Amino acid sequence: MPIVKVNVKWKGQVYDGFDLDTDESAELFKSQIYSKTGVPPDRQKIMAKGGMLKESTDLNKLNLKDGHTFMMMGTAGDLPPPPPPTKFLEDMTDAQMAEALEIPAGLENLGNTCYMNSTLQCLRAIPELHQSLEKYQGGMSGVDNRGNLVASMRELYKSMDKAPEGFPPLMFWQLLRQVFPQFSQTGNGGVPLQQDAEECWSELVSVLRAKLPSDDAGENFINRFMSGQMQSELKCLDAPEEEKVISTESFQKLGCHISSSTNFMVNGIKEALTEEIEKNSPTLDRTAKYERISRVSRLPRYLPIQFIRFFWKPEQRIRAKILRKVKFPLEFDATELCTPELQSKFSKAKLKLKELDDAKEAKRREEKRRKIDLETSGDPGANAAAASTSSSSAMDTQDEKINWSDYLDPELLADEGCNATGQYELCAVLTHVGRSADSGHYIGWVKKEQDKWFKFDDDKVSIVKDADIERLDGGGDWHTAYIVLYRAKQLS
């Protein structure tokens, strides 16, 4: 039957414009009435031919004509709230867009403070740092300026968690300049000078290492989660018979030297771990050449790597920048930087991770092949079948639970804060654009989830993809990675 235009009279008022589909149930019609009158369906008493309109009434048998008016009795309740109007991203304010996309707060630039803002955003990507800051009991009004700076960092991160958009880090900036006067330098007109983000990073890490509370074992966050151990062997090249000297020291970041042949980050790091020096030889009783070869004996859960891009140009009196393209991976196997002893401890877990990665890759390829087969089969249900195949494959991958204690070395398993597999994933990048360390601009890039990153350009925050991060490897005047932060690959 066709749709019939009908009216409803209730409390002396006629409500028109109802489209009554006589093939549908009376309950649907009552719901339409409810949306206009506010009378719930269970309170509606509608007069129809032969008596009251019931849910079981066959509307086709009423032989209704366009313009028919139903009489209704009933008490209204509250009208349902209207649905919120659809709002498109291009029509939203910055604050509304940030809330809709779950974009975190940026930091306002207080005058060439991008070096500080980008450093704070990258360090903010470490949840264990937040936990340690929460345990810090100091305030911001004590006589210990370094302790005040740590307390300010704690309060700043709390404020950023609540702020819907750009937040001014004024108190932290003031305390940073009190503790480290080099960041107070100004130029013409009293404008703050651009500073080095790596210097800011290193100074903050040193303060956190000194001031954050220690756990029951006497270790604090920096020592446990961001400090590695380096074993070095020093041998005399001019006197090979001289006894080698073995030493161990801690480190909070690795350096990537950039030479004319450096194309990949790992090669630059290995080059930095081998160096020639001159010192007095007790065997020869004169200055001699020595070679120091260093290898990592403990990898931390969070591993910062600095690209050594700046060098001093005496004729121009500036710290110039090396623009050479140096690729860094989204996933990083650091085992070749380690001592043979540590590599052997990684071996079992590394093989298991490779097995899992190979299985995931095989499933991905099989899923892609099936999807192509379904889409080219001409079957109308191909898209649904392909989606079902994709969903089931993802579930199969997630369902496998691994008892990692069977694969991890017991000593590494007991060492909280270390990387027990040697495998890392990139979680933050601090970049610089410009030709000199004393100018240009710094930006922080922080991973949100698979193929999604936050780009923190001071108080302007946007979402980018893995492909945008891979473009930060240098080779031109675009943003270039200066510090990359890796975290230990999470085990499923």
Question: 3-state SS string over 83-121?
Answer: CCCCCCHHHCCHHHHHHHCCCCCCECCCCCCHHHHHHHH
CA atoms within 13 A on the CB side of 68: 18
Give the per-residue pLDDT at 231.
Answer: 97
- Which residues is 248 bridged to in the sheet? 231
Can you tell me the distance from the alpha carbon of 358 to that of 363, in angstroms, rounded to the nearest whole number? 9
| Residues of the chain with confidence (pLDDT) below 50 | 79-80, 86-87, 89, 94, 96-100, 391-398
Structure tokens at 47: 């007069």
- Looking up tokens 């010192």 gives 279
Give the per-residue pLDDT at 144.
Answer: 92
Strand 68-73 with 51-52, pairing = unpaired
Give the per-residue pLDDT at 378.
Answer: 61
Give the per-residue pLDDT at 394.
Answer: 43
Q: At what angle do helices 170-179 and 197-211 cross, to 10 degrees?
A: 80
Give the per-residue pLDDT at 59.
Answer: 82
As annotated, the active-site residues are 114, 441
Give the per-residue pLDDT at 198.
Answer: 96
Give the per-residue pLDDT at 491.
Answer: 85
Give the per-residue pLDDT at 385.
Answer: 52
Give the per-residue pLDDT at 371.
Answer: 79
Within 10 Å of residue 106's Cβ, how many Cβ atoms? 25
- Residue 275's identity, in one-letter code, is E
List the strands of the sheet with 3-10, edge to edge.
Answer: 13-21, 3-10, 68-73, 45-48, 51-52
Q: Report domain extents, the chain.
A: 3-73
CATH 3.30.56.10 fits 3-73, yes or no: no
